[in-house]
Structure 1
Amino acid sequence: MLFPRRRDRAAFGGWAAVFVSLGALLGMAFLPSPFVVEQPGPTFDTLGETDAGPLITVPADLDHPDTEGSLTLLTVSIAGNPQRPLTWVDVAGAFLDPADEILPMDLVYAPTETIEQSNEAGRIEMESSQAAAIAAALLHEGYEIDAEVTIADVLADSPADGVLEEGDRILSVNGDPAYDVSSIRESIAAVDGASTFDIERDGQPMTVTVEPIESQGQRLVGIVPQNAFTFPIDVSIELPNVGGPSAGMMFALGIVDRLTEGSLTGGVEWAGTGTISATGDVGPIGGIEQKMHGALAAGAEWFLAPVENCGEVVGNVPDGLHVVAVDTLDDAMTAIETVASGGDTSALPTCTAG
């Protein structure tokens, strides 16, 4: 019988070890990872249409559809979730695209939150954002509105579970009147420690205390508040299958454009992002780097960014995109009108380091 020489046996053993290691690595590569990937999502011109029809509709006798340019809202897509996690191969691929960002899954999905709950919360946030945008636009145009905030849902095992209930009307938080969802978030964020809620439940006034938790840099109590306004005219926004509050400012700008004569943009392609309060304050959002890439891909020349997101904007602006930092709806209007009229754009506020 012939036997391999010792050197041949050693070489065979070495190659076997290599193949075993490669096989193990390949197997690990397809194991689930604890990460998700943020990517630029679909974009929508608030002055245009979707498959469902006009994105914004105002009464025909008040409508001024003679508009040019664009006021594009931006979205972020999340790849991966607790029920369908990404593999390590998927995560590695995201390193190759500068428009993608890899995040720990628990920064996006709360430990006790199901995908269905997350989607439902996003839907309610979108509805509240649309209502606040309508309110902000109508107030800007001189209309009067009535407003209140109710609780649409309380997350299980959250700080508010067993303290606040679905259907509660929030009157004030930490002594600040609860005019809309944004004002509630600001009141919670402004106080260290527990927050005091003055509410109305089944017609009876009550005062309760909730200790927030920290998550994704925010102080959260585990409720999904919802705006409820009474408007003097009928304004509707149709954008199916998109959730979250970050399109509020762009909705408001689109409504103002439809209610005023002429073209607000003067034919310029704008995109932007930011929450909106009923009183016109613009708030921060997530995924602004991905949204800037999405804006450029959609053909935007100018981009409206919330002042509070400037730390994420600096150093990450794609070539060819001009960013203006805004704090209010009025700031956004001023920027758009300045560019449209050929004014001094160098005087417009932008995001700077430090």
Structure 2
Amino acid sequence: MSLTPPQPDHDPWIGFEPSVSRRYVTVVVAAVTTILLTIVAFMLPVPYATLQPGPVFDTLGEFNGEPMLAVEGGVATYPTDGALDFTTVSVTGPDGKVGFSEALLAYFDSDVRVVPKDFLYPEGETAEESDAQSAAQLASSKDNSTVAALRALGYEVPEQVEIGEVAEDGASVDLLESGDVVVAVDGSAVATPQQAVEAVSAVTPGDVVTLSVERDGAPQDVAITTKPAADDPEVPRIGVSLASRFDLPVQIDNNVGDSVGGPSAGTMFALAIYDLLTPGSLTGGRRIAGTGEISPDGVVGPIGGVRQKMAGANADGAEVFLVPADNCAEAEDGDDFGMTLVKITDLDDAIASLETLAEDPDAKVPSCS
């Protein structure tokens, strides 16, 4: 009789290899899944836009092979030197996509700003609509800068109020036409769009206002029943956009093309026009850069992307950067790139500061610090 050795209740090795395999597979699958999800996250667009330094353009130089600013009519111009650069920002368009990785890298780049896309564009705005608005702002900037420069030079530049667009569902449809010149509202003369807006705003929605206009040189009175504003029923509207028409004593051709847009080059345009029409040089031979929207009266307004414009100016070798007063806090929030940051509130400020620095680069002028 043979005896069979007692068998253990279970084999200690049974299931060991499968257990190791399952754990290994689980780890691998988790790692691959994490990697794939990370790749997908980095590839997917996020609802943000980036503002990055854009190119700079010398307003005293050429644009696409021709002078950026040309004075017509035999008016005397004077040689100058140095540069008066207007600065730009490269912005993600309304139809553009920013990936997660791009947004993440931009977040850690001090020269790039990341903002929610709806901070820049109304919901549903297309690239074509954005481009059209930007082109209209540039056209207005050209006009305003010319008027501001000529007025700083002592020229009289008469202004009139012109009807721009007439809303199809507005109070003025079939009554006013684009190009009509508004002379008075309810018998009170108006010379600027703001005066016209204030005169209309003085009535109650539903009241009738009478606009005295000139159409093709012929005067006529037009009675319009106001409507309440869509966003405020207490505010009267006549359903038109208004613009300024100027009678320029000197014709300035601004040859900036459609590759740039917006209103922020106005101050630098005005300075260049002033420099061309006066003896001497505003720059003192140095490269001056800057930004700022400008009104026909020469008031300099704030703009967006000042940090990105400073970075672009620095990359182009600017020594002085003109900053609208309301942008000074933002301009100081980071590296000044070794540039002198000159604070400006109007065109006269900018001219005075540049004239002072042209004589003495170390002179004290209004600054952001």
**Matching residue of 1:228:** 245
**Matching residue of 2:7:** none
**Matching residue of 2:104:** 92
Query: Letter of the aligned partner of 1:349 in structure 2?
Result: P
1:295-310 to 2 correspondences below 5 Å: 295-310=313-328
Q: Secondary structure at the match of 2:170?
A: coil
C-alpha distance 235-30 of structure 1, shift in aligned 2 (>3 A): same
**Matching residue of 1:69:** 82
Larger radius of gyration: 2
Q: Secondary structure at the match of 1:61?
A: coil
Over the matched positions of the two proteins, sequence identity in percent amounts to 36
**Matching residue of 1:33:** 46
- Give how far 1:298 is off: 1.5
How far apart, in 2, do the equivalents of 1:50 and 1:212 lie? 43
Q: Secondary structure at the match of 1:38?
A: strand
Contact 2:72 2:253 in 1 (8 A): no
Query: Letter of the aligned partner of 2:96 in structure 1?
Result: R
Query: Letter of the aligned partner of 2:248 in structure 1?
Result: F
TM-score (norm 1): 0.81
1:179-198 to 2 correspondences below 5 Å: 179=192
How far apart, in 2, do the equivalents of 1:171 and 1:107 lie? 38
The answer to whether structure 1 residue 103 and structure 2 residue 115 are counterparts is yes
Q: Secondary structure at the match of 1:345?
A: coil
**Matching residue of 2:343:** 325
C-alpha distance 209-134 of structure 1, shift in aligned 2 (>3 A): farther
- Give how far 1:149 is off: 4.2
TM-score (norm 2): 0.78
How far apart, in 1, do the equivalents of 2:339 and 2:229 lie? 42
How far apart, in 2, do the equivalents of 1:37 and 1:179 lie? 36
Q: Secondary structure at the match of 1:318?
A: coil
1:218-257 to 2 correspondences below 5 Å: 226-241=243-258, 242-257=260-275
How far apart, in 2, do the equivalents of 1:128 and 1:198 lie? 27
Determine which of 2, 19, 23 is the counterpart of 1:10. 23
The answer to whether structure 1 residue 142 and structure 2 residue 159 are counterparts is no
How far apart, in 1, do the equivalents of 2:103 and 2:132 lie? 26
Which runs of 5 or more structure 1 residues have no equivalent in the other structure?
188-193, 214-221
**Matching residue of 1:162:** 170
How far apart, in 2, do the equivalents of 1:211 and 1:170 lie? 21
C-alpha distance 129-224 of structure 1, shift in aligned 2 (>3 A): farther
Contact 1:121 1:224 in 2 (8 A): no
Q: Deviations over 1:69-99 (max 9, x none)?
A: 1111011111242x23222122122124211
Contact 1:71 1:269 in 2 (8 A): yes
How far apart, in 2, do the equivalents of 1:297 and 1:16 lie? 47
C-alpha distance 154-146 of structure 1, shift in aligned 2 (>3 A): same
Contact 2:87 2:309 in 1 (8 A): yes
Across the two proteins, how many residue pairs are aligned to each other?
332
RMSD (Å) for aligned C-alpha atoms: 3.6
Determine which of 69, 73, 79 is the counterpart of 2:92. 79
Moved more, 262-271 or 121-130: 262-271
Contact 1:292 1:317 in 2 (8 A): no
How far apart, in 1, do the equivalents of 2:184 and 2:46 lie? 42
